[in-house]
Structure 1
Amino acid sequence: MIGNGELDGFSAIIHLGLARHAKVPRIESQGINLNRFREADNSGRISNGKIVVNGPDLIPCSVDSEYVLQDGLSTGLEVSHDAGGYVCNETLYRTLYALDTDVDRRVPCTFIHLPPSEEMDFKAQLNLVKRVSAIVVQPPHIEVAGALFRNGNQWMVSRRSSGLHEGLWEFPGGKLEPGESVLDALIRECDEELGWSIRPIQLFERVDHVYSHASVELEFWICAYEGDNPPALRSHTEHRWVAKEDLGKLDWLEADIPLIKRIQSLD
C-alpha cells in the first residue's frame, strides 16, 4: 500500500508489538536494516542479514519519541533504540523505508512495544496507545531558541548527531522548557550542548516553520561566548566556522533555511 502511494486518509502509522520480557512499554526511535531471526516467523521463514539490500543502516522514526515522553508520559514509557532482530523491527524498517521513498507525502510513523498483560493490563495499554496517537496525529507546537556565533564573515554551525534530523546542519540551541524564557533557554542549551558560557546580545530573526511532526517557532539571537575552549561535541558530530557565502552548500534543517538567506543578505 505504501509502496503504491496509497496513503490518502492516513494521518499516522503506529505499529504495535509484544515485548515478552518487558516491564514497561517502549516507543522505538528507529528501524535497523538487519534481521536476526532466532526462530521462524508464522510463515516458517528465517531471515538473517540485510532487510533491504543497499538500504540505509538506520532510518529514524518520523515521530519524535523524546517529545512524546515529554508530554506527560515519561514515567510510563521508555525510548528504545533497537526494536530487536525479529518481525517487529523488520516491519518498522520496511515501513520507514517505503515512507522514505514516497516524496509526495510524509506520514508520521512509530512503533510501540507493549509488555505482557501481567505487567500492564489491556485497559492501560489501550489508554497509552490512545494518548500516543493523539500526540502523533495532532503535531505539537514547539518554541526553540537558537544561538548565532559570528567571527567576522564566518558563522558557527553544528551537525546533528542523532534523532529525526540526524546529519543535518543547524545553529546551536534547543526547545524551551515549561516556564523558561528564550534567553534562559539559550544560556542553558549552550552550556549543555557546547560547554560554553554565553551572553545573548541581540535578537536577529524569528522563523515559523511547520514540519509533519510539529510546528516550530524559532528565535535566533546573536550571542557571545566566554573563554577560548572549542565547543564540546555532546549533541553534534561536528562544529564548523563557515563563511556566509558557503552556508548554502550545507544540508540544513528546513526551519533554518530562511535564516541562511537572511545572513547571506548582510553586507
Structure 2
Amino acid sequence: MEDTILSVRGIKKYFGGLHALNNVSFDLPKGQIMGLMGPNGAGKTTLVNIICGFYKPDEGSIAFEGKDISGFPSHKICRLGIARTYQIPQPFWELTVWQNVLVAGMYGKGISRLEAETEVQKALELTDLSDKKDVHTKHMATISLKRLEVARALATKPKLLLVDEPAAGLNETELPRMLEILSNIRQTGVTIILIEHVMKVMKEAVDTIFVINEGKPIAHGLPDDVMKDEKVIECYLGECD
C-alpha cells in the first residue's frame, strides 16, 4: 500500500457569504505528481493557500505525513517540508539568482548559510540555472524566472512541492524542458501538486488529476479518465459536441 504524504479531509472555506471551498477531500500518495485543475475562480488557489498555511480552514483538516497541520502558520509548514511556487515569479529583482535561492533556503527552512549553500547548488543543478547563478534576476527571461521560482522552493528542502502554472508564458520549445525538470525533481523523492491549465502538461506529467469547480470536487482519477469525464468537459473544457 502506498504511503500517504498529504491527507485533506472535508475542507471548507468561506469569504463572507461565499463558499470558496466546500467539502474538499483527497489523499496524495508519496512520490506521485497530482494535477490540480479547475476553471478560474474554482478554488484552486484557495486550496493551495490553505495547504501552505496562508489561510486557515473554517472546517476540515489537513494531515502531512500523518501529522495534523490544520491552521499552522506558513513558516512552520514550510519548515515541516511543504513549499510552493507562484504563477507570477516574485524574486528579489536586485539580487542574483544565487542570492535569491540562498535567501529562500536560509529563511524559508531556517538553516545555516553553509547548509543552505549546499541546497542552493542542488536546486540550481536541478533547474538548469547553474550557469546563470551570478545573473541579476531583472535581466532574466520568462523561462529562467519560472525555473528560479522552482529553485527557490527546492532550496527549502521540501518533501511536498506545490507548483503553480509552471508552463504559463512558455513556448512549445521551452515546455519539454520544464516537464523534464519536474520529472527530475520527482525522481529525487519530492511529491508534487501541479496546478496547470496546459493540457499537454497534465497528460504527460501527472499520475492523477483532481478537479474542482465552484469550490467542490467533481473528478479525481487517471488523466485519461478525468479528461473524458462529462462534468469536467462541461465545466472546464466546454460543452460536448
TM-score using structure 2 length: 0.28
Structure (1 or 2) with the greater helix fraction: 2
Question: Which of the pair has the greater relative contact order for Cα pairs under 8 Å at 6+ separation?
Answer: 2
Structure (1 or 2) with the greater strand fraction: 1
Select the structure of larger CA radius of gyration: 1
